[in-house]
Structure 1
Amino acid sequence: MKKNIVIVGVFSNEWSTNVFMANAFENIGFNVFRFDFRAFPKHEIPKMLIDFINSINDVFLIVFCKVDSVPIKTLKDLTGIIPTWYWFMDPMTVANTINAAERARACTYASSTSYKVTEYFKNFNKNSYRIIEGVDTTLYRNLGLKKEYDVLFVGTPDQKRLNYLLNVPYNVKIFGNYWPQCKHETNPPIYNEDLVLAINKSKIILNFTRPDSYSDRVTQILACGGFVLTEYADDLFMDFGDSLTYFTNVNELNQAIGYFLKAPTIRSNYIRKYYRKNLKPLIQTWEKTCDEIIQRVKENDEPI
């Protein structure tokens, strides 16, 4: 008989990472029950969630994904009867804003994609682990397409990204909301298959990091066999080392873009050889991520 897991997260957007997590738990043999906490007014969430869980027999684990609008008391109440996991994937600034540490404390287990946030969580919950987001390699894959774009960036603007991109003299194709008119071509946001196509059509894909972590965009690009040029972050270097090409300022970014655009053979050799040997083994699928959660629970003798 399959074991039951409840995931409390966001499921209204097909590109939500919670969707991929739920699918992966099913792929490794679990029944998954999805509760979209953003589908309800905040004051109704506690009752709706508890009623939802009570309608399911033998719930072995509840995974709370960030859940900034679920009251901490609700997490504590459910932890008292069912093992719970607090899954957090944002930097320390967001952790402080939503009081994530108290949410981590309220659950049986906690994890973060950031080394810094994980160490912070350990002050509140000894069962805190650093686990990164996975990637769906059935979606994010190498299509072998002709390269049409010199440089690609997908994301919304902030001051740092504006400072970088407005000073890049090369053609950058941008996808994302709220970009001002500028010398680069800007387009509406793209997700899933459209994002995969754009990555596959690009010679260089830019990535900007968070203050103390990085997003799953890096592994999405790598899973597509794309050439990622990324802002440096300690977490990235600890996970990928010299396997990635980093920049720390505009001059380094422009030098790297110029070099790799003029050296297609070096870029393609890197993707064909270096990527397959060094990077592909480092790509974590969502199934690996979910299995790591289960193994951590088993280590602590919870009944899963």
Structure 2
Amino acid sequence: MKIYHTKNNIKILNLRNTTNNLNSNFKTLIISNNSKNAWSNAINSLKAIKFKKSKIIYPSNKKKLDFSIFTKILLKFKIFYDQFNINKKIIDELNYNNFQKIIIIQPFNIYGSTLKKIKKEHKGIEIIALFIDPLLHQNYFTFNLIFSLRYFDKIIYRQPFNEKYLNILNKNFKIRCFPGVTKIKKKLGKKKYLYDVTFIGTYEKERFELLEYLSQNDIKVTVFGNGWQNIKSNKNLIIKGKAIYGAKFYKTIFSSKINMGFLRKDNQDVYNSKTVEILAAGGFMLSEYSPYIKKIFKNNKELVFFNHNKLELLKTVKYFLNNSKLREKIKNNGFKKVNEGLFNYSSQLLKIINFKT
């Protein structure tokens, strides 16, 4: 069965029913882009796959990556210095153990010389890049990619930003996939709501202005996430001031009457992980409009779209706060859609990993 369809010469993963069989016969080395104790949907999804043999290499065992001043300066010039010696760790691991596949998450810090050496000394090994962020966007692109992308046998990515230029840097298999989730609630139980309107995510000016407008019009808004430390809470705008992940994230979504699904303007996102995660957690979602999301989820049936007209957004929020029956119906429909099995990220990745090019 073909796992993808093609549009404008771009391969796009088919959203077909996934399977609970997550077995893989491949010995796989996984390279994380984050510290061992940080939350990572990609790592958790790969952990759920039962590889014949697997090992994960982390840059650090701390709670978060602590980049040096030198590394930060080089990043300003779009050069990613390998502060944590990931390239050496990969080579050393391959010298001691045999692997059939290497999966590198967000490989902005991987050198082309490292991948060239692997190709030369370990014949038949397949090297896979897994990008969460738009790799050709100025916020993420590093000059390392100019020299490394050509060596990847497969490139998995999410955002369509500048994807037509990928063929210049890589002639091999590339595929775009819709965001998925690792954890999906099996049933929606009854829950006492703790929050009226909730947003979980990073500060952006446009997001703040909309949320502030809602709060100024007697809507109680609660915000979790990074970058909000300079915003003061008030009676209707409660800034929790830290990011939440895992069980706490899902519990908060389920405890909120309305969950805001913003897209990052700075990244020119057309969807993100929360597009699926909010619905998977059993949350009602007001999603920023995107034609890419509209192709997957039905407006006013599985979620509700909004634009950046403040007055229209306020009317929509008030309407759904006052119409719990319709809100619950849409929430349940969205939850059922996600539970059809289309969005299991582990299954999505496994299909691509196992695919013979």
> Where does residue 236 of structure 1 map in the other structure?
293
Q: What displacement does 1:238 show? A: 3.1
CA contact (8 A) 1:118 1:128 kept: no
Matched, 1:4 2:64: no
Q: What displacement does 1:178 show? A: 3.0
Compared CA separation, residues 12 and 265, structure 1 to 2 (3 A): same
Secondary structure class of the residue paired with 2:296: helix
Letter paired with 1:114: Q
Matched, 1:87 2:110: no
Q: What displacement does 1:190 show? A: 1.4
Letter paired with 1:35: I
Letter paired with 1:76: K
Unaligned residue ranges in structure 1 (runs of 5+): none
> Where does residue 110 of structure 1 map in the other structure?
155
Q: What displacement does 1:30 show? A: 3.8
CA contact (8 A) 1:115 1:235 kept: no
Letter paired with 1:34: I
Matched, 1:16 2:35: no
Letter paired with 2:118: L
Compared CA separation, residues 285 and 30, structure 1 to 2 (3 A): farther
Secondary structure class of the residue paired with 1:153: strand
Q: In the alignment, which of 253, 257, 267 is matched to residue 327 of structure 2? A: 267
Compared CA separation, residues 244 and 139, structure 1 to 2 (3 A): closer
> Where does residue 197 of structure 2 map in the other structure?
151
Unaligned residue ranges in structure 2 (runs of 5+): 1-23, 66-81
Compared CA separation, residues 232 and 217, structure 1 to 2 (3 A): same
Matched, 1:176 2:225: yes
Q: In the alignment, which of 56, 59, 68 is matched to residue 34 of structure 1? A: 56
> Where does residue 18 of structure 2 map in the other structure?
none
Higher helix share: 1
> Where does residue 46 of structure 1 map in the other structure?
87
> Where does residue 212 of structure 2 map in the other structure?
166
Rounded to whole Å, the distance in 2 between the matches of 1:32 and 1:153 is 36
Rounded to whole Å, the distance in 2 between the matches of 1:143 and 1:75 is 49
Rounded to whole Å, the distance in 2 between the matches of 1:11 and 1:43 is 10
Rounded to whole Å, the distance in 2 between the matches of 1:37 and 1:106 is 21
Compared CA separation, residues 97 and 257, structure 1 to 2 (3 A): same
How big is each residue's C-alpha offset from its partner over 1:101-149, in whole Å with a ceiling of 9 and x where there is no partner?
6543231111211133543323432411012342122579745321121
> Where does residue 318 of structure 2 map in the other structure?
258
Compared CA separation, residues 54 and 133, structure 1 to 2 (3 A): farther
CA contact (8 A) 2:261 2:286 kept: yes
Query: Number of residue pairs matched?
Result: 294
Letter paired with 2:29: V
Rounded to whole Å, the distance in 2 between the matches of 1:275 and 1:139 is 12
Rounded to whole Å, the distance in 2 between the matches of 1:200 and 1:240 is 19
Output the aligned Cα RMSD: 2.7
Q: Scaled by the length of structure 2, what TM-score is found?
A: 0.74
Rounded to whole Å, the distance in 2 between the matches of 1:61 and 1:15 is 23
Percent identity of paired positions between Structure 1 and Structure 2: 24
| Aligned residue runs from structure 1 range 61-80, under 5 A | 61-80=101-120
> Where does residue 169 of structure 2 map in the other structure?
124
| Aligned residue runs from structure 1 range 162-241, under 5 A | 162-168=208-214, 169=217, 170-179=219-228, 180-183=231-234, 184-187=237-240, 188-210=242-264, 211-241=268-298
